[in-house]
Amino acid sequence: MTKVVKFGGSSLASAEQFKKVKEIITAEASRRFVIPSAPGKRFPSDTKVTDMLYACYDLAAKGKDFKEEFNAIKERYYGIINELGLDLSLEQEFEVIRACFIGKAGRDYAASRGEYLNGIVLAKYLGFNFVDSADVIFFNDQGQFDSKKTGRSLSARLETMENAVIPGFYGSMPNDTIKTFSRGGSDITGSIVAAAVNADLYENWTDVSGFLTCDPRIVSNPKPITTITYKELRELSYMGATVLHEDAIFPVRKAGIPINIKNTNKPEDVGTMIVESTSQKPAYTITGIAGKKGFTVINIEKDMMNAEIGFGRKVLEVFEKNGICFEHMPSGIDTMSVVVHQQEFADKEQEILAGLHRNCHPDTIDIETDLALIAVVGRAMKSNRGTAGRIFSALAHAHVNVKMIDQGSSELNIIIGVSEDDFEIANKAIYDIFVETKL
C-alpha cells in the first residue's frame, strides 16, 4: 500500500507542528511520499511565509532594501531547525535566493522558495529523499500544467525511491524558470504525485477534520461530511467550501484514487473521504450547503423572445466578447437573465449594456446587484421526493425571498439566488431543515 500525504501550511508552521507531522508519517510505512506547503500561520495574526516572500520580493523588484524582510523569513526556518535540533544549514540556499531576488527572478520563483526550503527541512527531519519539484513538475510554454511530461518524469523518478519529500506549489517552465500553481496549489501537487505513483490513497492533512455540511461561520458546529463524491465536492468547492484547492481533484479522479482530508491536530478524527462513487447512504438528504455573495443579474426582456432563433447566442456573444464568464442563465418566455460575478461585470458594465442593445434589441434591460447564490448539494436528492419543496418552505418560514432557482439536470444540486442580506438566514434555514431536524 502506498499513500501520498500532503501537509498544509498550518500543519508545518512551527517545530511543534513538524513533530506531529513526523509522528503521523512514521505511524504507517505506507506514507512514503510527502508534499509540504510553506510554513503557514502559527497564530491568527501571524503571516504565512508565502506572503512574506511575496512582500520581500516586491521590495527587491523595486530596487528597495529588503534585508529586514529577508531576515524575518530566515528566522522562521531557523526557528524550526533549531527547535528540532537539526544539523542543517540553509545559508547557501538563502544566498542563492537573495541573489535571485536582486536579479529579479520573478514572483513565482520567490513564492516557490517557501515550499522548497520547507521540503529540505522536512526531508532532513524525516530522513527521506528530497526531490526538487522543478525537476519533475512541468508547465508548457503557455504556462499550463503539462500532465504527460510530468507524469512520465515523476513516475520514473519516484519508482527508484522508497520515500521522498516533494515540495508543493511549483514546477518549471520549458525555459527553466519557476512557475507556481494558484494559491493553495500544494493540494494540486499532492494530487499529481498520487496519480504518478499510482497511490492507493491521497491523504490531505490540514487544520480541520474535513468538510462540514455548512460554513461554520454561519452555523455553529455544523455536522462533518464523512463521505462525499468528487462531483458533489466540485459543486461545493466552486461555491466557496475552501478546504481543498478546486483543481486538486482532477489528477486523482482520473486515476481513481480517493482523497482523505485529515486533521494534523486531531489525527484520530476520520475526516472526509472523497470518492468517485459510493453505495454509502449520506446521513442526510443533502451532503452540504455552500454559497457566495457578490453576483449581479442582468435581466433582459423582449416580446416574442422565445420565437427568435439565436437570441441566446447573441446575448452570450456580448459577454464572451467582453471576457465575462456567466454563472447561470435562467430564462422565461420573453425574459432571459444572466448571472455574473459583480466585480468582473462592474468593470465592463457600459460596454456590455451597449453591446446587448446593439446585438439583441431588447425591450428592457434591468440590472440587479448584491445577489448571493447558495448551492444545496447532495447525491441523495435524485432519489428523494420533495427536496426542493422543503428548501423553499424553509426559506418562506424564514421570510427569505427567493430571487432565482436553478436545478442542474444531474439533480445533484439546487442553486438558489437570494439578496445578500438574506444569505446567512437562508443558509441556516436550509441547514436546520435537513440536518438539525433530519427531514
Q: Are 112 and 178 in contact (CB under 8 A)?
A: yes
Backbone angles phi, psi at 150, to 5 degrees: -65, -45
Position closest to ligand ASP via CB: 186
Question: What is the grid cell recorded at 61?
Answer: 523588484
CB of 172 to ligand ASP, least distance (A): 16
CB of 7 to ligand ASP, least distance (A): 10
Choose which of 10, 17, 133, 186 interacts with ligand ASP (CB under 6 A): 186
**CA 4, 145, 233, 279 torsion-angle sign:** negative
Nearer to ligand ASP, 204 or 287 (CB): 204
Q: Are 145 and 139 in contact (CB under 8 A)?
A: yes
Q: Does residue number 38 form part of the binding site for ligand ASP (CB under 6 A)? A: yes
Q: Does residue number 417 form part of the binding site for ligand ASP (CB under 6 A)? A: no
CB of 186 to ligand ASP, least distance (A): 3
CB of 168 to ligand ASP, least distance (A): 5
Q: Does residue number 258 form part of the binding site for ligand ASP (CB under 6 A)? A: no
Q: Which residues pair with 6 in a beta bridge?
A: 35, 204
Region near ligand ASP per CB under 6 A, out of 92-100, 183-191, 259-267, 336-344: 183-191
Interacting residues with ligand ASP between 76 and 115 (CB under 6 A): 114
CB of 265 to ligand ASP, least distance (A): 17
Q: Which residues pair with 205 in a beta bridge?
A: 7, 262
Choose which of 106, 119, 167, 168 interacts with ligand ASP (CB under 6 A): 168
210: alpha, beta or left? (left if phi > 0; alpha if psi -120 to 50): left
The contacts found for 356-359 with CB under 8 angstroms, 24 or more apart, are 356/298, 356/300, 356/315, 356/318, 359/314, 359/315, 359/317, 359/318
CB of 41 to ligand ASP, least distance (A): 10
**Buried-state track 135-162, b at ≥16 Cβ within 10 A, e below 16:** ebbbbeeeeebbbebbbebbeebbeeee
Question: What is the grid cell recorded at 220?
Answer: 455553529
Give the binding-site size for ligand ASP (rule: CB under 6 A): 13
Q: Does residue number 185 form part of the binding site for ligand ASP (CB under 6 A)? A: yes
Residue written as grid cell 436546520:
432
Beta-carbon contacts of 286 under 8 Å, excluding residues fewer than 6 positions away, are 213, 376, 377, 378, 380, 381, 387, 430, 434, 435
Q: Does residue number 36 form part of the binding site for ligand ASP (CB under 6 A)? A: no
What is the x/- site pattern for ligand ASP, positions 108-137, by CB under 6 A? ------x-----------------------
Q: Does residue number 50 form part of the binding site for ligand ASP (CB under 6 A)? A: yes
Q: Does residue number 48 form part of the binding site for ligand ASP (CB under 6 A)? A: yes
Region near ligand ASP per CB under 6 A, out of 180-188, 202-210, 290-298, 410-418: 180-188
The 3 state secondary structure assigned to 187-250 is: HHHHHHHHHHCCCCEEEEEECCCCCECCCCCCCCCCCECCEEEHHHHHHHHHCCCCCCCHHHHH
Choose which of 7, 9, 201, 296 interacts with ligand ASP (CB under 6 A): 9
Region near ligand ASP per CB under 6 A, out of 22-30, 93-101, 178-186, 201-209: 178-186
Choose which of 10, 11, 14, 37 interacts with ligand ASP (CB under 6 A): 37
Nearer to ligand ASP, 169 or 311 (CB): 169
Nearer to ligand ASP, 114 or 171 (CB): 114
Helices (H), 38-103: 49-61, 67-84, 91-102
Burial class (CB in 10 A: 0-12, 13-18, 19+), 406: middle
CB of 351 to ligand ASP, least distance (A): 33
Nearer to ligand ASP, 74 or 348 (CB): 74
Residues of this chain that interact with ligand ASP (CB under 6 A) are 9, 37-38, 48, 50, 114, 168-169, 183-187
